[in-house]
């Protein structure tokens, strides 16, 4: 018998994906939960008692584990917050209708209020209809833009200003790699943040599972016997994310901490994009950039400032005269190519 590395008493049943520790089931559940508790406390995710917070719930493993763990922790450590499940119905037959049934059961199991917002009621289009129109390639763009806004709108309806999402460490690490591969510097500086409350949005979003490995989430769901829905979206997954994901899996094999290490690296890249620094960076001997003078002048000009306005159509906040979701809906309704719509909508 191999004793658990933590309690030294029970038999070790689980090899922890994060660090290869051999531990027993009880210690795994405990360490998994307390890591999320640490994350919540360290990052002050629930600053005010009595707050109502939405959990973006898809019925999948991540959001189900999130809801379950938060319920446990809220009772154990008395955060004093109230959770509401917020689901988006994209209108995908054979996928979302089934997973929503899971969410409905979860709502009963966890005693949480459930609110469902549908693409159809918000935009007049279900994803099935969108895919019929635009085809399978590129439909994720529509779904992504719609979902982001739908979550905000759903939360607003519930008079909630804080949404929790089930993004895990693998997701964050993957996004960091992807933003490097795509050359997306602004997003690179943002994607590892645990709480995002941008100037363009009143809605706060947090990722309490940011340090939790996908493998451990699956293990947790398994050992807690959680009721979740494990089918992939029926429409094509993002191909690009797929290549970042397979790269990540390979790295995890060589060094299991790689995922955390990438997240940590990503966190270090935050600094620059938090805002133009007040201090003038000096070109002293310690500067690694030889051509830094030019770079720094560019930097001091700062990033192009986004001004928040509201969409002329729907009134939702937008940096453009018309928000992205409305532009997409407009293109769908007009049956014009997306590009043309965006060109005509360019601000003067």
Instruction: Label residue 24 left, alpha or beta by phi (over 0 means left) and psi (-120 to 50 means alpha).
Output: beta
Is 58 annotated for ligand binding?
Answer: yes
Residue 189 labelled as part of a binding site? no
User: How far apart, in whole angstroms, are the C-alpha atoms of residue 346 and residue 342?
Assistant: 6
CB of 101 to other proteins, least distance (A): 35
The answer on whether 171 is annotated among ligand-binding residues is: yes
Give the nearest distance from C-beta 7 to other proteins in angstroms. 16
| Residue 292 assigned to a binding site | no
Distance CA 23, CA 115 (A): 38
Residue 206 in 3-state DSSP?
Answer: strand
302 annotated as belonging to a binding site for a ligand? no
Tally of CB atoms within 10 A around 153? 17
Contact 145, 324 (CB under 8 A): yes
CB 214 within 8 A of CB 292: no
Closer of 32 and 83 to other proteins (Cβ): 32
Nearer to other proteins, 247 or 338 (CB): 247
Strands 14-15 and 82-89: unpaired
Return the number of the residue (183 or 347) whose C-beta is nearest other proteins.
183
- Listed as own residue / partner, the contacts of 284-292 with beta carbons closer than 8 Å and 24 or more positions apart are none
Can you read off the two tokens belonging to residue 94? Answer: 């054979």
The smaller minimum CB distance to other proteins, of residues 260 and 332, is found at 260
CB of 288 to other proteins, least distance (A): 4
Q: How far is the CB of 78 from other proteins (least distance, A)?
A: 15
Binding site for other proteins (CB under 8 A): 18-19, 34-35, 38-39, 41-43, 176-177, 179-185, 188, 193, 211, 243, 247, 250-251, 253-255, 257-258, 260-262, 264-272, 274-275, 277-279, 281-282, 284-290, 292, 295-296, 299
Short-list 205, 211, 173, CA closest to 33? 211
Q: How far is the CB of 6 from other proteins (least distance, A)?
A: 12
Minimum CB distance to other proteins smaller for 1 or for 239 = 239
Would you say 128 is a known binding-site residue? no
Which lies closer to other proteins via its Cβ, residue 111 or residue 279? 279
Whether 60 has a binding-site annotation, put simply, is no
Residue 10 CB, shortest distance to other proteins, in Å, is: 21
Angle at 306 between CA 140 and CA 153, to 5 degrees: 50
Which residues partner with 116 through β-bridges?
A: 87
Which position has the token pair 């939702």?
A: 316
Residues belonging to the binding site for ATP are 56-58, 62, 88, 166, 171
Residues belonging to the binding site are 56-58, 62, 88, 166, 171
């Amino acid at each position: 018998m191999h004793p658990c590395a933590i309690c030294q008493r029970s038999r070790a049943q689980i090899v922890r994906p994060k660090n290869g520790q051999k531990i027993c089931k009880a210690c795994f559940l405990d360490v998994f939960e307390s890591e999320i508790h640490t994350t919540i406390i360290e990052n002050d995710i629930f600053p005010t008692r009595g707050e109502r917070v939405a959990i973006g719930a898809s019925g999948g493993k991540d959001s189900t584990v999130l809801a379950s763990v938060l319920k446990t922790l809220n009772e154990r450590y008395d955060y004093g917050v109230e959770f509401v499940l917020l689901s988006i119905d994209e209108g995908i037959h054979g996928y979302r209708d089934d997973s929503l049934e899971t969410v409905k059961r979860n709502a009963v199991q966890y005693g949480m209020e459930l609110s469902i917002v549908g693409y159809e009621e918000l935009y007049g289009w279900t994803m099935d209809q969108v895919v019929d129109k635009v085809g399978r390639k590129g439909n994720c763009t529509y779904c992504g833009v719609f979902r982001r806004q739908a979550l905000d709108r759903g939360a607003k309806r519930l008079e909630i200003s804080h949404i929790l999402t089930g993004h895990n460490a693998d997701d964050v690490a993957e996004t960091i790699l992807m933003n490097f591969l795509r050359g997306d510097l602004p997003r690179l500086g943002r994607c590892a943040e645990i709480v995002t409350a941008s100037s363009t949005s009143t809605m706060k979003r947090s990722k309490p599972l940011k340090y939790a490995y996908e493998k451990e989430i699956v293990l947790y769901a398994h050992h807690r016997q959680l009721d979740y829905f494990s089918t992939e979206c029926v429409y094509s997954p993002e191909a690009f994310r797929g290549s970042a994901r397979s790269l990540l899996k390979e790295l995890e094999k060589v060094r299991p901490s790689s995922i955390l290490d990438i997240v940590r690296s990503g966190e270090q890249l935050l600094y620059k994009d938090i805002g133009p620094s007040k201090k003038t960076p000096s070109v002293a001997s310690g500067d690694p950039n030889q051509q830094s003078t030019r770079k720094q002048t560019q930097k001091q000009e700062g990033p192009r400032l986004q001004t928040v306005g509201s969409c002329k159509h729907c009134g939702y906040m937008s940096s453009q005269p018309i928000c992205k979701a409305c532009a997409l809906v407009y293109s769908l309704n007009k049956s014009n190519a997306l590009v043309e719509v965006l060109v005509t909508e360019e601000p003067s």
